[in-house]
Structure 1
């Protein structure tokens, strides 16, 4: 089975016809490492299905320090959801950490398709539920876990995190310094 169809079917039943309609409003793209697919204060018009590679979502402070909010691995939906829904500038930057392959989906056409096709609308609702649950879990981790616990949770979610994502990005995501992350990793390795 096509891995994209299998991924979409994890949210609900996606027929071949529905997949064809979704593919019609999508464009396959290869993107180099270090490209910003959503820029800060840009009003986005696209959402993405990540087929290969790693993308990060981050916020920059006024002093220029980056704070990683999320990492996206294949196969997943990627996009500045609040900015897309509100048609407002994005508060976040989405940047490829590696070369990536994506389907770029026109958000307006996707929303039009949701109005026309109840199956696509149901799929969108299911995706939003999963996105919200991931957000809620991330918030719980930040509130309830110490740095070591957050790191262990990240390693559970992304088993090869050290080989996929640079240490300074991991540290930023965990809300700690790279030095603190090195100490945590050293302690874990000594067990």
Structure 2
């Protein structure tokens, strides 16, 4: 059985016919490290399912400083959702940190399919619920944990985070400097 079909069915039951409809609006792509799949200010039309590799989502301040919002690892979905839903420019950049294999999904065709396909509508809803829970968890962590606590939570979510993602990007995600992250790591190693 197709592992993508199995993955989607782990979220919500879909039929093989529904899976065939999804495949028609999806394109497989290989993305090189450093490539941006959504650029700042783009009005996106695609959502992505990451099959391999790591993608980061970040914003850039007026002074040019970058802040990582999220890391996406296999198998997960990534999209500039607010920009897609409102058909507005993205406030975020989505960039491959490593070479990636992704499925690019035409969001607006997906929405049209959801209007007539209850299985697909359920899959979409459950995916949004999962993303919201993940977002809310991150928000609670950022408000209630110190930098060490946030780092330990990140290690739970991505056990080999230090081998996968550079110290600079981890520090940015945690809202601290690379020097502070080095101190936290040394303290935890003791």
Q: Is the TM-score greater than 0.5?
A: yes
Deviation at 1:3, TM superposition (A): 2.5
- Does the aligned pair in 2 maintain the 1:4–1:75 contact within 8 Å? no
Aligned mates of 1:25, 1:130 — CA distance in 2: 22
Aligned mates of 1:153, 1:10 — CA distance in 2: 25
**Where do 1:39-58 residues align within 5 Å?**
39-58=39-58
RMSD: 0.8
The residue aligned with 1:4 is: 4
The residue aligned with 2:94 is: 94
Deviation at 1:137, TM superposition (A): 0.2
1:157 aligns with 2:177: no
- 5+ residue gaps, structure 2, are none
Partner SS for 2:143: helix
The residue aligned with 2:66 is: 66
| Cα shift readout 1:32-63 (whole Å, capped 9, x = no counterpart) | 00001000011000000000000000000111
1:114 aligns with 2:114: yes
- 5+ residue gaps, structure 1, are none
TM-score by length of 2: 0.98
- Does the aligned pair in 2 maintain the 1:40–1:89 contact within 8 Å? yes
| Cα shift readout 1:131-158 (whole Å, capped 9, x = no counterpart) | 1000000000001111000000000000
- Does the aligned pair in 2 maintain the 1:26–1:103 contact within 8 Å? yes
Query: Runs in 1 of length 4+ with deviation above 4 angstroms?
Result: none
TM-score by length of 1: 0.98
Partner SS for 1:30: strand
Partner SS for 2:51: strand
Aligned mates of 2:34, 2:109 — CA distance in 1: 27
1:128 aligns with 2:145: no
